[in-house]
Amino acid sequence: MTKKIALCMICLAVLVGVHFSAVALAQIVVGLQEGDLMEYQVTCIGDVPEKHDVDRATIEVVSVKGTTVDIKLTSIYSDETEETDHSTLNLETGQIGDAFIIPANLSEGDTFLEQTEGNITISGVEHKKYAGAKRAVVTATTTYTMFYWDQSTGFLVEATSTYSNFTITTKAEKTNIWETEPYEIDPIISIILIATVIGAVLTLFLRDKNKK
Protein backbone atom coordinates (compact mmCIF):
# COMPACT_ATOMS: atom_id res chain seq x y z
CA MET A 1 0.00 0.00 0.00
CA THR A 2 2.84 2.34 0.93
CA LYS A 3 4.56 1.62 -2.39
CA LYS A 4 1.36 2.47 -4.27
CA ILE A 5 1.02 5.78 -2.42
CA ALA A 6 4.67 6.61 -3.12
CA LEU A 7 4.23 5.76 -6.79
CA CYS A 8 1.12 7.95 -7.00
CA MET A 9 2.98 10.83 -5.35
CA ILE A 10 5.85 10.52 -7.86
CA CYS A 11 3.43 10.46 -10.80
CA LEU A 12 1.62 13.49 -9.39
CA ALA A 13 4.90 15.38 -8.97
CA VAL A 14 5.88 14.59 -12.57
CA LEU A 15 2.50 15.74 -13.88
CA VAL A 16 2.68 18.98 -11.88
CA GLY A 17 6.21 19.61 -13.14
CA VAL A 18 5.15 19.06 -16.74
CA HIS A 19 2.15 21.33 -16.24
CA PHE A 20 4.19 24.22 -14.85
CA SER A 21 6.85 23.77 -17.54
CA ALA A 22 4.14 24.03 -20.18
CA VAL A 23 2.76 27.17 -18.54
CA ALA A 24 6.23 28.75 -18.44
CA LEU A 25 6.78 27.99 -22.11
CA ALA A 26 3.35 29.34 -23.01
CA GLN A 27 4.31 32.69 -21.46
CA ILE A 28 7.25 33.12 -23.86
CA VAL A 29 5.67 34.68 -26.93
CA VAL A 30 7.85 35.48 -29.94
CA GLY A 31 6.29 38.53 -31.60
CA LEU A 32 8.49 38.63 -34.70
CA GLN A 33 8.71 36.83 -38.00
CA GLU A 34 11.24 36.27 -40.76
CA GLY A 35 12.12 39.50 -42.57
CA ASP A 36 11.29 41.89 -39.72
CA LEU A 37 14.01 44.48 -39.28
CA MET A 38 14.88 47.52 -37.21
CA GLU A 39 17.35 50.28 -38.11
CA TYR A 40 19.05 52.21 -35.31
CA GLN A 41 20.92 55.45 -34.87
CA VAL A 42 23.72 55.13 -32.33
CA THR A 43 25.15 58.07 -30.37
CA CYS A 44 28.43 57.67 -28.50
CA ILE A 45 29.72 60.19 -25.95
CA GLY A 46 33.06 60.06 -24.14
CA ASP A 47 36.09 57.82 -24.46
CA VAL A 48 34.42 55.01 -26.40
CA PRO A 49 36.48 51.79 -26.70
CA GLU A 50 37.43 50.40 -30.09
CA LYS A 51 34.65 48.37 -31.74
CA HIS A 52 32.04 50.28 -29.72
CA ASP A 53 32.09 53.45 -31.84
CA VAL A 54 29.07 52.35 -33.88
CA ASP A 55 27.20 55.04 -35.83
CA ARG A 56 24.30 52.99 -37.24
CA ALA A 57 23.04 49.44 -36.91
CA THR A 58 20.41 47.14 -38.39
CA ILE A 59 18.93 43.98 -36.90
CA GLU A 60 17.08 41.65 -39.28
CA VAL A 61 15.18 38.52 -38.27
CA VAL A 62 16.44 35.67 -40.46
CA SER A 63 14.24 32.90 -39.05
CA VAL A 64 12.02 32.00 -36.10
CA LYS A 65 11.55 28.51 -34.70
CA GLY A 66 9.80 28.12 -31.37
CA THR A 67 11.58 30.41 -28.91
CA THR A 68 14.71 30.52 -31.09
CA VAL A 69 15.33 33.56 -33.30
CA ASP A 70 18.16 33.81 -35.82
CA ILE A 71 19.22 37.40 -36.52
CA LYS A 72 21.65 39.28 -38.75
CA LEU A 73 23.29 42.30 -37.11
CA THR A 74 24.91 44.88 -39.37
CA SER A 75 27.01 47.58 -37.68
CA ILE A 76 28.37 50.68 -39.41
CA TYR A 77 31.17 52.39 -37.52
CA SER A 78 32.09 56.07 -37.37
CA ASP A 79 34.73 55.54 -40.07
CA GLU A 80 31.99 54.03 -42.33
CA THR A 81 33.41 50.50 -42.14
CA GLU A 82 30.72 47.82 -42.02
CA GLU A 83 30.55 44.57 -40.08
CA THR A 84 27.92 41.82 -40.25
CA ASP A 85 27.36 39.14 -37.63
CA HIS A 86 24.86 36.30 -37.37
CA SER A 87 23.52 35.23 -33.98
CA THR A 88 21.03 32.73 -32.64
CA LEU A 89 18.89 34.01 -29.78
CA ASN A 90 16.88 31.81 -27.44
CA LEU A 91 14.20 33.59 -25.43
CA GLU A 92 13.65 30.55 -23.22
CA THR A 93 17.26 30.17 -22.05
CA GLY A 94 17.97 33.92 -21.83
CA GLN A 95 20.46 33.96 -24.70
CA ILE A 96 19.23 37.29 -26.12
CA GLY A 97 22.46 39.02 -27.16
CA ASP A 98 22.50 42.62 -25.97
CA ALA A 99 18.80 42.29 -25.14
CA PHE A 100 17.93 42.75 -28.81
CA ILE A 101 14.69 40.77 -28.53
CA ILE A 102 12.62 39.75 -25.49
CA PRO A 103 9.28 37.93 -25.18
CA ALA A 104 6.34 39.88 -26.64
CA ASN A 105 3.32 41.25 -24.76
CA LEU A 106 5.02 41.68 -21.39
CA SER A 107 3.55 44.09 -18.83
CA GLU A 108 4.71 45.81 -15.66
CA GLY A 109 5.87 43.26 -13.11
CA ASP A 110 6.50 40.50 -15.67
CA THR A 111 9.97 38.97 -15.83
CA PHE A 112 12.13 37.45 -18.53
CA LEU A 113 15.45 35.61 -18.41
CA GLU A 114 18.79 37.10 -19.47
CA GLN A 115 21.77 34.76 -19.24
CA THR A 116 24.13 37.17 -17.41
CA GLU A 117 21.68 39.31 -15.39
CA GLY A 118 19.26 36.52 -14.49
CA ASN A 119 15.57 37.44 -14.25
CA ILE A 120 14.86 41.01 -15.40
CA THR A 121 11.62 42.66 -14.29
CA ILE A 122 9.62 45.02 -16.49
CA SER A 123 9.35 48.25 -14.49
CA GLY A 124 6.70 50.00 -16.55
CA VAL A 125 4.77 50.52 -19.78
CA GLU A 126 4.94 53.83 -21.65
CA HIS A 127 3.81 55.29 -24.96
CA LYS A 128 6.62 56.81 -27.00
CA LYS A 129 7.36 57.52 -30.64
CA TYR A 130 9.83 55.26 -32.42
CA ALA A 131 10.50 54.74 -36.12
CA GLY A 132 7.75 57.15 -37.11
CA ALA A 133 4.91 55.90 -34.90
CA LYS A 134 3.73 56.08 -31.30
CA ARG A 135 4.12 52.66 -29.70
CA ALA A 136 3.42 51.01 -26.37
CA VAL A 137 6.84 50.14 -24.98
CA VAL A 138 8.04 48.28 -21.90
CA THR A 139 11.07 49.39 -19.92
CA ALA A 140 13.60 47.79 -17.61
CA THR A 141 16.97 48.68 -16.13
CA THR A 142 20.02 46.45 -15.72
CA THR A 143 23.40 47.17 -14.14
CA TYR A 144 24.52 49.63 -16.81
CA THR A 145 21.62 50.02 -19.22
CA MET A 146 18.08 51.38 -19.42
CA PHE A 147 16.09 49.54 -22.08
CA TYR A 148 12.87 50.13 -24.01
CA TRP A 149 11.28 47.37 -26.10
CA ASP A 150 8.23 47.48 -28.33
CA GLN A 151 5.56 45.72 -26.27
CA SER A 152 3.75 43.82 -29.02
CA THR A 153 6.90 42.50 -30.74
CA GLY A 154 9.59 42.46 -28.04
CA PHE A 155 12.01 44.25 -30.40
CA LEU A 156 14.51 46.66 -28.85
CA VAL A 157 13.67 50.30 -29.67
CA GLU A 158 15.99 52.21 -27.34
CA ALA A 159 18.86 51.58 -24.96
CA THR A 160 21.18 53.88 -23.05
CA SER A 161 24.29 52.30 -21.53
CA THR A 162 26.24 54.44 -19.07
CA TYR A 163 29.76 53.52 -17.99
CA SER A 164 32.43 55.41 -16.05
CA ASN A 165 33.97 57.13 -19.09
CA PHE A 166 31.45 56.82 -21.92
CA THR A 167 27.76 56.56 -22.79
CA ILE A 168 26.10 54.82 -25.75
CA THR A 169 22.51 55.50 -26.80
CA THR A 170 20.81 53.33 -29.41
CA LYS A 171 17.44 54.40 -30.82
CA ALA A 172 15.18 52.87 -33.48
CA GLU A 173 14.79 55.14 -36.52
CA LYS A 174 13.21 52.92 -39.22
CA THR A 175 11.37 49.61 -39.39
CA ASN A 176 9.24 47.53 -41.75
CA ILE A 177 7.10 46.18 -38.89
CA TRP A 178 4.70 49.11 -38.52
CA GLU A 179 3.51 51.98 -40.67
CA THR A 180 4.84 55.49 -40.23
CA GLU A 181 2.18 57.81 -38.82
CA PRO A 182 1.34 61.08 -40.63
CA TYR A 183 3.21 64.07 -39.26
CA GLU A 184 1.21 65.73 -36.49
CA ILE A 185 1.31 69.51 -36.20
CA ASP A 186 1.28 70.90 -32.68
CA PRO A 187 -2.17 72.51 -32.01
CA ILE A 188 -0.47 75.66 -30.72
CA ILE A 189 1.51 75.98 -33.95
CA SER A 190 -1.71 75.51 -35.93
CA ILE A 191 -3.39 78.33 -33.98
CA ILE A 192 -0.40 80.61 -34.55
CA LEU A 193 -0.41 79.86 -38.29
CA ILE A 194 -4.16 80.50 -38.58
CA ALA A 195 -3.85 83.74 -36.59
CA THR A 196 -0.97 84.84 -38.83
CA VAL A 197 -2.98 84.19 -41.99
CA ILE A 198 -6.04 86.00 -40.59
CA GLY A 199 -3.82 88.92 -39.55
CA ALA A 200 -2.27 89.12 -43.00
CA VAL A 201 -5.69 89.07 -44.69
CA LEU A 202 -7.03 91.79 -42.38
CA THR A 203 -3.94 93.93 -43.01
CA LEU A 204 -4.42 93.69 -46.78
CA PHE A 205 -8.14 94.39 -46.44
CA LEU A 206 -7.58 97.50 -44.30
CA ARG A 207 -4.81 98.71 -46.60
CA ASP A 208 -7.08 98.44 -49.65
CA LYS A 209 -9.91 100.13 -47.74
CA ASN A 210 -7.69 103.09 -46.77
CA LYS A 211 -6.56 103.52 -50.37
CA LYS A 212 -10.18 103.92 -51.44
Instruction: Quote the percentage of the chain above a pLDDT of 90.
Output: 69
User: Is 132 buried (19+), middle (13-18) or exposed (0-12) by CB count in 10 A?
Assistant: middle
Instruction: Write down the domain spans for the chain.
Output: 31-175
Render pLDDT for 135-153 as a digit per residue (tens, 0 to 9).
999 999 999 999 999 999 9
Measured CA to CA, the distance from residue 148 to residue 139 in angstroms comes to: 5
Residues 6+ apart with CB under 8 A from 82: 74, 75, 76
What is the rounded average pLDDT of the residues 29-42? 98
C-alpha to C-alpha distance for 193 and 199, rounded to whole angstroms: 10
pLDDT of 208 higher than 70: no
With bands split at pLDDT 50, 70 and 90, how would you rate the model's confidence at 181? confident
Asked whether the predicted pLDDT for residue 193 surpasses 70, the reply is no
Interatomic CA distance for residues 94 and 16, integer angstroms: 24
**pLDDT for 211:** 63
CB 132 within 8 A of CB 184: no
